[in-house]
A and B are shown apart, each in its own frame.
Chain A
Amino acid sequence: MEEKRIGVYICWCGTNISLMVDVETVAKEMAKLPNVVISKDYKYVCSDPGQDIIIKDIKEHNLNRIVVASCSPRMHELTFRKTLVKAGLNPYYFEMANIREQDSWVHTDRVEATKKAKALIAAAINRVSFHEALDSRSVEINPATFIIGGGISGLSAALEIADSGKKVFLIERSGRMGGHVADFDLTFPYMYSAQQMITPLIQRVKSHQNIELFLNSEIKEIFGYIGNFESTIHSKDGKETAVKFGNVIIATGLKTFDPSNIENYGYGKLPDVITSFEFEKMLLNGIIKTKDGKEPKNIAIIHCVGSRNKNYHEYCSRTCCMTALKYANQIRCELPKANIFDIYADMRSFGKGCEEFYTLSSRRNIKFLMFDQENDLPKIVSANSGDNCDMLIEINEKLTGKTIEVPADMVILMVGMEARENAKEIAHAVGISMCGNSFYIERHPKLDPVATTTNGVYIAGGCQAPKEIPDSVAQAKAAAARILATIAKGSVEVEVTTACVNEDFCCGCQTCIKVCPYTAISFDAEKKVSVVNEVLCKGCGTCGSGCPTGAIKCKHFTDMQILSQIEGIMKISHLELQEA
């Protein structure tokens, strides 16, 4: 066994660490620990001069293990791994002790904080002795992309990828493309025609030589991993097509909320209470008429139907407020003399041009009434013959504090958006996760809102959360860009800190298969042992702790590494006790 020659570097982080930790003393004491060849403190170890010190020491003192005590590994682990590579060492011969977030920032007693720093660094020194060299691996990327869903997101992504000369398989469950956008008349806030936007996209997709289109089709499951997926497309006419592809975009969209369950609104019972999508159809046909064929004199629009209410969905559906204003404006144009009542809970007019749209709308003699969405929904009842209208809406109006009756001949319910009923099946088929509302979860809500936790699987549009057209298109094109980047690279590096099975110890109990969140483990029926697909494995370690025989080893988190780390902490505490 080679001799372990450890270098320890303690960072001041300016005053972030040095104010609360006596870094010089710590550096001196760490030098006394076994195998430690050199121990230094420096103002900013992460800086170029700081890294240069490490590289120089590795070469001069022939170091083969490095410990840096500084900030969180989240911040600089990659930085220092690269430093080791520059000096000719394997990057996994590195260990980091977090003495900033877990020590100097959270403590107020300098003596105690210094003791804690010693314990954390000693643990790292102990652990690093057991580190093994791990080699990075890469897989080849199949340049074809599989897109599920032919709405505006799917179409946008498909064209983006196909235009760059790469193959796209686009599958759509229904018999037509365009999704919800194809049902719209105009779009807020600039009143562009939805038809004029979506029709050219559909035409281009249909005639594109790089896009293979599968209408009336579904998939059951996708096998494989990034770069090398495969699946079978089942068409409604019984045809089956096997396809191979390197990346997947899920753009399955969402569906509208069914308001029949909200008693107050009487949807389904009162003939002229309609949903926003039914009204959109009227606008597309150019006729606003009640069920009796009359022109409505009083039209009410009710917001937040099925949204922002604990009984239905707690989230905001994002698009309905502005769509409601769009309706109000369109009604004002079609029926200039109609009384328009906009019954809202909060007017959410974020987004480019939307607040201006609201201001503009408020100049068009539209009456805005506010209700309590959480506890006090308006109630729609049939009017009596003397009321001069078909229905009456009773509202406890928030801004006046009064109970007000609004006459109405037509009521438009701004129904919210919810996940599709088969969202779970799709999630299972491609191995991605869902939030409580059955929308798909992105890898990081801020920094990676397009990818999922499964490499090579991206999400775009309404399947992630309710969103407007430009957001859906942006997300779709971002997904396309991400995929084109991996295709351009030709291969992709995969995680090396994965689990591996010692076949001699494996008893074939398959506990690991049940607990793996990434479906990365399969069972070899012939050998009767578990097999880890190292491309799918994220190295989370769940299988390792579940394994009753200790057959599964998680690279870079071996039992020895973790036990020695604990031992390191105990050793320092033990010394302290002796001193006392």
Chain B
Amino acid sequence: MKERIDPNLYNDLEKFGIDVGNWNECYHCGNCTATCPLTEKGSLFPRKEIRFLQLGLKNELATSAEPWLCYYCGDCSKKCPRDANPGELMMSLRRYLTSIYDWTGLAKRIYTSKIFEIATILVISLIVMVLYLNFTFFPSGEGAWTGNDGGVLINKIAPWKRIHFGDWLMAGTLAFFLITNIFNMWLNIIVKDKSVKVPFIAYFTEVFSVVINFFTQKRFNKCDNDNKPYWVIHLFLMLSYVMLFTMIVFFLQWFQTDSVHPVWHPQRLLGYISTIGLFVGIIYFINNRIKKAKENSKYSHYTDWTFLVMLFLTTLTGILLHFFRINGMAQATYITYLIHLMCLVPMLTIEVPFSKWSHLAYRPFAIYFANVKKSALKKQVKL
């Protein structure tokens, strides 16, 4: 198959952060691929990706799963004799691929325009505020702030059923976008690759790789040993997020209670553990990015910052919300709840299907598709 060079691909990719390294200076010594602990026969990166970019082979880039197989330990960038920065290039390609998979075009606009991203966050925040004020029983008069006993009546002001309905609405929408985007990813990585024909059965034999990689990120652990704490913190952050997400979206009735449970109650314990996981992770990653401490935190795209700041604000307001509630500070609780939702909803809406948090789904699925392809190729060779 002949592929035509697209000389303008570079311009398309510029705003995704591709420009931080001298990628055009790469002379293909292959040190990056040699040093990478994750690359293997059949899926060679990052040299190959740099080549595709240099030549402007858009289709090759759009259909490759390799950028998702990289966890950015940064060894390649350290070893590169030409300062081509392959690690950050792979990161930029993940941003680019996110925009390729997203059929709505929103991801591309978020990744290429700061103003658009901030405006979107503000608009969603406002919508959340309007909905909250209209569909909850936010007190308007004096004395309506507390119950008869003076306690916080969060379920009276913002009944869990209503919030839960909103949760489901949001989760459904997000799931719709995410699943259709993953479908798009499947089209790109497997269907458009004519060199391999995937038998139906392969999709079942490899299904465990999605689950295992989602919960353990064990490939990440294969990266350089210096990154052990990094991997632990990253995993803890991710699992904490998933835990809180699950409790809020699926068990809100159990999670949002008027009565204050004792400290050892599973509801509070799980909440605390997850919050610690989130908070420690966020502080760690913000610190890394400010100090440019690691190869992978040296270069920050503005979306990296948006993500961390939104996550930080959500967690902080969540902690305050809990603090106010258990201390019976009713007025502060209701207002903080509103602010919390105004941070949480735009964060999830933007990050999960269209921006950085989509890695959560794309990474395990890319590994899944890559494994499916690999097993299909093995069978092809045998035949």
A404 to B5, CA, bound (A): 7
**Could you tell me if B2 and A394 are in contact, using CB atoms closer than 8 angstroms?**
yes
In this assembly, does A369 line the interface, its C-beta being within 8 Å of a C-beta of chain B? yes
The answer to whether A28 has its CB under 8 Å from any CB of chain B is no
Interchain CA distance A400-B53 in the complex, whole Å? 11
Contact across chains for A400 and B57 when beta carbons are under 8 A apart: yes
Contact B3 A407 (CB under 8 A): no
The answer to whether B55 and A369 touch across the interface, beta carbons within 8 angstroms, is: yes
B41 within 8 A of A: no
Contact A400 B51 (CB under 8 A): yes
Interchain CA distance A362-B54 in the complex, whole Å: 10
Are the C-beta atoms of B25 and A403 separated by less than 8 Å? no
A407 in contact with B4 (CB, 8 Å)? yes
- Across the interface, name the chain B residue whose C-beta is closest to A298: B7
Please measure, in the bound complex, the distance between the C-alpha atom of A366 and the C-alpha atom of B52, giving whole angstroms.
14
Q: Which of B3, B25, B55 contacts A367 (CB 8 A)?
A: B55
State whether the Cβ of A384 lies closer than 8 Å to any Cβ in chain B: no
A160 at the interface (CB under 8 A from B): no
A403 vs B10: C-alpha distance when bound (angstroms): 20
The distance in angstroms between the C-alpha atoms of A298 and B52, with both chains bound, is 19
Give the residue of B3, B10, B25, B54 whose beta carbon is less than 8 angstroms from that of A363. Answer: B25
Report which residue of A359, A362, A407 has the largest number of chain B beta carbons within 10 angstroms of its beta carbon.
A362
B166 within 8 A of A: no
Q: Does A98 contact B (CB under 8 A)?
A: no
The residue in chain A whose Cβ has the minimal distance to the Cβ of B30 is A399
Please give, as numbers and ranges, the residues of chain A lying within 8 Å of B22 by CB-CB distance. Answer: 362-363
Q: Any chain B CB within 8 A of the CB of A536?
A: no
Q: How far is the CB of A335 from chain B (nearest CB, A)?
A: 13
The interface on chain A, measured as residues whose beta carbon lies within 8 A of the other chain's beta carbons, has a size of 22
Quick one: closest A residue to B56, CB to CB?
Answer: A367
Does A405 sit within 8 A of B, measured CB to CB?
yes
Residues of A close to B48: CB separation below 8 A: 400
Q: How many residues of B contact A (CB 8 A)?
A: 21
The CA-CA distance from A441 to B90 in the complex, in Å, is 53
Separation of A339 and B7 alpha carbons in the complex (Å): 7
**Separation of A339 and B9 alpha carbons in the complex (Å):** 12
A74 to B68, CA, bound (A): 66
Tell me the minimal C-beta distance from A430 to chain B in angstroms: 44
Is residue A406 contacting chain B, with contact meaning CB distance below 8 A? yes
Give residues 358-406 of A contacting B (CB, 8 Å). 359, 362-363, 365-369, 394, 397, 399-400, 402-406
Are A404 and B3 in contact (CB-based, < 8 A)?
yes
Enumerate B1-56 residues with CB–CB distance to A below 8 Å.
1-5, 7, 10, 22, 24-25, 27-28, 48, 51-52, 54-56
Give A367 to B60 CA distance when docked, in angstroms.
16
Q: Given that A367-B54, A368-B54 are contacting pairs, would A405 and B25 also be in contact in the complex, using a CB cutoff of 8 Å?
A: no
- Main secondary structure on chain A at its contact with chain B? strand
Complex contacts, A368 vs chain B, CB 8 Å: 54
CB-based contact A405/B3 at 8 Å: yes
Q: How far is the CA of A362 from the CA of B5 in the complex (A)?
A: 18
B24 touches A362 (CB 8 A): yes
B24 engages A397 (CB within 8 Å)? no
Chain A residues within an 8 Å CB radius of B82: 359
Closest chain-A Cβ to B355's Cβ sits at a distance in Å of: 28
Give Cα distance in the complex from A518 to B88, angstroms. 67
How far apart sit A394 and B2, CA to CA, in the bound complex (Å)?
8
- With A298-B7, A402-B3, A405-B4 as known contacts, state yes or no: A363 contacts B24, CB within 8 Å: yes
Contact with A403, one of B2, B27, B56 (Cβ below 8 angstroms) = B2
Could you say which residues of chain A place their CB within 8 Å of the CB of B1? 403
Complex CA gap A404/B24 in Å reads 18
The smallest beta-carbon distance between A402 and chain B, in angstroms, is: 6
Q: How far is the CA of A397 from the CA of B10 in the complex (A)?
A: 19
Instruction: Provide the residues of chain B in CB contact with A367, threshold 8 Å.
Output: 5, 7, 54-56
- Are B10 and A362 interface neighbours, CB within 8 A? no
How far, in angstroms, from A365 to B2 measured CA to CA in the complex? 23
List residues 250-303 of chain A with CB under 8 A from any CB of chain B: 298
Q: Is the CB of B3 within 8 A of A362?
A: no
Contacts of B60 in A (CB 8 A): 400, 402
Given known contacts A298-B7, A365-B24, A404 and B2 CB-to-CB distance under 8 angstroms: yes
Q: Is the CB of A404 within 8 A of B57?
A: yes
Distance in angstroms between the alpha carbons of A499 and B205 in the assembled complex: 89
Point out the residues of chain B lying under 8 angstroms from A298, CB to CB: 7
A262 shortest CB reach to chain B, Å:
21
> How far is it, in angstroms, between the C-alpha of A369 and the C-alpha of B54 when the chains are bound?
9
B46-92 interface with A by 8 A CB criterion: 48, 51-52, 54-57, 60, 82
CB<8 Å pairs between A and B, sample of 9:
A339-B7, A341-B5, A347-B27, A359-B82, A362-B22, A400-B60, A403-B1, A404-B4, A404-B57
A-B CB proximity, top 8 nearest: A339-B7, A362-B25, A405-B4, A403-B2, A400-B51, A405-B2, A399-B28, A406-B5
Q: Identify the A interface with B (CB < 8 A).
A: 298, 339, 341, 347, 359, 362-363, 365-369, 394, 397, 399-400, 402-407
Knowing that A362-B24, A363-B24 touch, tell me 8 more A-B residue pairs with CB under 8 angstroms: A339-B7, A359-B25, A365-B24, A367-B56, A394-B2, A400-B51, A400-B55, A407-B4
